[in-house]
């Protein structure tokens, strides 16, 4: 497995990480814990050393899963988790990044993960009620205390990134990015490059759409959140299919899969970008890892760029309530 450095932070990770959210949250039926532990450990065996979780995934059960799975490899892996949601009786009831609450929830994360230091700690969503300087200052203190190694932000806008970075250097920004969602290219990616901050795209396969495995006939399970995502409405799926057709065409030329092309495209954008596709299936894990070896030539990238420019993606990526939590 090739490695990459997340900006100027010195944090070096496998070129592809593993997003663990779907192992206990959001995508329908929750798999058996033992199977997910085996999957995470298989990822380590295949060179992945960068694992992403969060307090809200479950809530809490995902951190416990990741901690148990990675316990035998603690010195070999980089574990990222996130704070920023307020919990009462085990349920999220909104945002909370007050300094005292950050400290409380970070202590809880350390216990669930069964680790002494969090390698990369993200603010999950920007809290409009707490100055980002206070958030960055709190994480700076946690770093000095040895409880955190690196500070990250998730779905933050340019000015928030700059203000936070001035207090405590931001090692990585995690936000959605793929051929299905290219908004970060306008302002976010240039800012990250300027400041020397790494980029960790989540949903690099468009929540599964870019794999070519989702069609107009696909019926999502009852508690799969994609049932409520406008982009996955039937009419929008039809309208967005040309993008999948383009990726599938390139994949056929390269004798690889559409998912591998979609991930290889992200890897080709900048050397400090590390996508974190999630999966609960071993065959998909191996397939995703294979994308690191797929080389898209300048001609391939130009073809994708020219053809993708003709396609207007239809549908918002979140429901309105979730969209309000994104600081753009």
Taken in order 85, 139, 272, 14, the sign of the CA dihedral is negative
Q: What is the pLDDT of residues 94-128, one digit of tens each?
A: 999 999 999 999 999 999 999 999 999 999 999 99
We report the CATH number of the domain holding residue 251 as 3.20.20.100
Residue 316, domain member (yes or no): yes
pLDDT in tens, 72-98: 999 999 999 999 999 999 899 999 999
Q: Count of domains in the chain?
A: 1
Higher pLDDT, 328 or 251: 251
List CB contacts of 213: < 8 A, sequence separation 6 or more. none
Assigned domain for 213 exists: yes
CA distance 55 to 286: 27
Q: What are phi and psi of 123, to 5 degrees?
A: -80, 120
For residue 252, the model assigns a pLDDT of 98
Residues of the domain holding 70: 3-323
Burial (CB count within 10 angstroms: exposed 0-12, middle 13-18, buried 19+), residue 25 = middle
Separation CA 147–CA 139 (nearest Å): 9
* Whether the predicted pLDDT of 206 surpasses 80: yes
* 193: in domain: yes
Does 318 qualify as catalytic in the annotation?
Answer: no
Q: Which residue has the higher pLDDT, 29 or 171?
A: 171
Residue 157 domain flag: yes
Catalytic residue among 27, 57, 101, 122: 57
User: Does any domain span residue 328?
Assistant: no
User: For position 321, what pLDDT does the model report?
Assistant: 63
pLDDT band of residue 327 (cuts 50, 70, 90) is: low
- Reported residue count of the chain is 328
pTM above the 0.85 mark? Answer: yes
> What's the confidence (pLDDT) of residue 328?
47
Which tens digits make up the pLDDT trace of 25-43? 877 789 999 999 999 999 9
Q: Is residue 50 in some structural domain? A: yes
According to DSSP H, which parts of 71-209 are helical?
A: 99-113, 132-144, 158-167, 188-195
């Amino acid at each position: 497995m090739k490695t990459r450095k997340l900006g100027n932070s010195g944090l070096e990770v496998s070129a592809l990480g593993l997003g663990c959210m779907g192992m206990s949250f959001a995508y329908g039926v929750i798999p058996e814990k033992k199977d997910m532990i085996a999957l995470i450990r298989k990822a380590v065996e295949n060179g992945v050393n960068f694992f992403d979780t969060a307090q809200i995934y479950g809530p809490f059960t995902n951190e416990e899963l990741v901690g148990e799975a990675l316990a035998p490899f603690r010195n070999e892996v980089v574990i990222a988790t996130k704070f920023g949601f307020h919990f009462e009786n085990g349920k999220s009831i909104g945002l909370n990044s007050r300094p005292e609450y950050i400290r409380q929830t970070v202590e809880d994360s350390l216990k669930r993960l069964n680790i002494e230091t969090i390698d990369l700690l993200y603010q999950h969503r920007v809290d409009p009620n707490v100055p980002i300087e206070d958030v960055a200052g709190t994480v700076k203190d946690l770093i000095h205390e040895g409880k955190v190694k690196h500070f990250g932000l998730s779905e933050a806008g340019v000015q928030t990134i700059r203000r936070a970075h001035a207090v405590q250097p931001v090692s990585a920004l995690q936000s959605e990015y793929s051929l299905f969602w290219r908004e970060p290219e306008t302002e976010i990616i240039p800012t990250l490059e300027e400041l020397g901050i790494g980029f960790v795209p989540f949903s690099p396969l468009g929540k599964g759409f870019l794999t070519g495995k989702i069609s107009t006939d696909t019926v999502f399970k009852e508690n799969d959140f994609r049932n409520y995502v406008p982009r996955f409405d039937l009419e929008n799926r039809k309208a967005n299919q040309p993008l999948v057709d383009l990726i599938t065409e390139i994949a056929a030329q390269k004798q690889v899969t559409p998912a591998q092309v979609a991930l290889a495209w992200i890897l080709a954008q900048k050397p400090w970008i590390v996508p974190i596709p999630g999966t609960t299936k071993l065959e998909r894990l191996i397939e995703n890892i294979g994308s690191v070896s797929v080389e898209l030539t300048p001609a391939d990238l130009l073809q994708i760029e020219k053809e993708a420019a003709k396609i207007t993606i239809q549908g918002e990526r979140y429901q309105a309530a979730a969209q309000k939590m994104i600081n753009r």
